[in-house]
């Protein structure tokens, strides 16, 4: 329960930064287009630094076991989400953008800082497992359905900045190479602003939204419900019913990270693809914005249920 309270507190703190970002644009201190610069800082500086530092640990059998569980959970989550979304499609008839928004979460910009703040920097090691699986699927399945073109380039996966950081981190970890103090300190400083910058960007982007239209769009509420409540609740139920959290000591915390990643807002990459391929751009932006707002309430709630169920 203490972890749930800590998570709710940290999400509340991050939400205040969303408000700050919104106010900064509305008062003319910053412009909405400045969000692009901050996003690039998060993507190319903060996130890779956080991932590399997370792999600066001794790779013990228990940590390897936890990482494999994180990978397996990520694969399982996506299989579950693919299946359920496919089933729901028979009744609701979603377009491809809506399907992608339900399946893929923003497991980087929001989840990494939350894991760092609530569970500690070293636990980002396990969060990277989810990121690996989703990055591959985003640049294969998601790109294919959003573009309507079955062709994809493997280099987009291999050269993705987070995949490069994960690969580098794994190499350093396996080779038992510890970064020099100065370089480690620089990376640590680079990753620290990830949470605040990410939330400022969200607030700045929300300042451009027609909030009345967003809050009156019934379709957005439906997609948000499935993305933030139904799908992660099914994953939570599977964990508890099959006692997966009892597989080994520490499995409960690894799965907590997986649940956080699985219950996050819709992936910003989906919105980017929608813009690039002119595929429901407006609705995609609305879904992305509203799921960010709603997740500030749904993520602590789901985590509280999980903590009570597994005894954390």
State yes or no: pLDDT of 93 exceeds 70.
Answer: yes
Q: Specify the range with the lowest mean pLDDT, choosing from 64-78, 175-189, 195-209, 223-237.
A: 195-209
Q: 272 and 142 in contact (C-beta within 8 Å)?
A: no
Ordered DSSP codes for the chain: -HHHHHHHHHHHHHHHHHHHHHHHHHTTSS-GGGHHHHHHHIIIIIHHHHHHHHT-S---HHHHHHHHHHHHHHHHHHHHHHHHHHHHHHHH---HHHHHHHH-B-TTTTHHHHHHHHH-GGGHHHHHHHHHHHHHHIIIIIHHHHHT-----HHHHHT-HHHHHHHHHHHHHHTTPPPPHHHHHHHHHHHTTHHHHHHHHHHHHHTTS-HHHHHT-HHHHHHHHIIIIIHHHHHHHHHHHTTGGGSSTTHHHHHHHHHHHHTSPBPHHHHHHHHHTTSSHHHHHHHHHHHHHHHHHHHHHHHHHHHHHHT-
203 Cβ neighbours under 8 A, 6+ residues apart:
17, 18, 19, 20, 21, 22, 23, 24, 25
Instruction: Please give the mean pLDDT across all residues of the chain.
Output: 89
Calculate mean pLDDT across residues 233-241.
Answer: 97
d(CA 48, CA 52) in angstroms, rounded, equals 6
pLDDT of residue 1: 63
pLDDT digit string (tens) for 94-120? 899 999 999 999 887 778 888 888 888
Q: 89 and 223 in contact (C-beta within 8 Å)?
A: no
pLDDT digit string (tens) for 122-169? 888 899 899 889 989 988 899 899 888 777 778 877 888 888 998 999
Question: Between residues 79 and 160, which one has the greater pLDDT?
Answer: 79
Calculate mean pLDDT across residues 198-207.
Answer: 83
State yes or no: pLDDT of 210 exceeds 70.
Answer: yes
Q: 121 falls in which pLDDT band (50, 70, 90)?
A: confident
State yes or no: pLDDT of 292 exceeds 90.
Answer: no
Calculate mean pLDDT across residues 197-211.
Answer: 82
Q: What residue ranges define each of the domains in the chain, with the CATH number in brackets?
A: 2-301 (1.20.1530)
Burial class (CB in 10 A: 0-12, 13-18, 19+), 159: exposed
d(CA 227, CA 236) in angstroms, rounded, equals 14
pLDDT of residue 115: 87
pLDDT digit string (tens) for 51-69? 898 889 888 999 999 999 9
């Amino acid at each position: 329960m203490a972890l749930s309270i800590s998570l709710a507190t940290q999400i509340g703190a991050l939400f205040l930064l969303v408000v700050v970002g919104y106010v900064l644009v509305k008062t003319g201190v910053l412009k909405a287009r400045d969000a692009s610069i901050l996003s690039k800082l998060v993507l190319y500086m903060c996130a890779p630094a956080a991932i590399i530092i997370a792999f600066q640990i001794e790779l013990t059998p228990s940590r390897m076991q936890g990482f494999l569980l994180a990978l397996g959970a990520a694969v399982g989550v996506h299989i579950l989400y693919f299946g359920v979304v496919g089933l729901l499609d028979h009744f609701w008839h979603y377009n491809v953008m809506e399907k992608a928004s339900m399946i893929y979460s923003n497991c980087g910009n929001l989840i990494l800082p939350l894991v760092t703040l609530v569970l500690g920097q070293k636990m980002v090691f396990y969060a990277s497992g989810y990121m690996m699986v989703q990055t591959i699927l985003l640049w294969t399945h998601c790109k294919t359905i959003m573009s309507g073109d079955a062709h994809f380039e493997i280099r987009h996966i291999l050269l993705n900045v987070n995949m490069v950081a994960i690969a580098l981190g794994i190499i350093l970890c396996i080779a038992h190479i510890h970064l020099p103090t100065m370089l480690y300190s620089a990376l640590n400083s680079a990753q620290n602003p990830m949470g605040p910058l990410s939330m400022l960007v969200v607030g700045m982007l929300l300042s451009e939204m027609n909030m009345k239209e967003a809050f009156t769009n019934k379709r957005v509420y439906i997609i948000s419900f499935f993305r933030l409540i139904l799908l992660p609740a099914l994953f939570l139920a599977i964990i508890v019913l099959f006692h997966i959290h009892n597989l080994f000591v520490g499995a409960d915390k690894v799965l907590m990270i997986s649940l956080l990643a699985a219950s996050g807002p819709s992936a910003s990459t989906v919105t980017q693809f929608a813009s690039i391929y002119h595929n429901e751009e407006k609705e995609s932006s609305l879904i992305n914005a509203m799921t960010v707002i709603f997740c500030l309430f749904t993520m602590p709630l789901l985590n509280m249920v999980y903590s009570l169920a597994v005894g954390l």
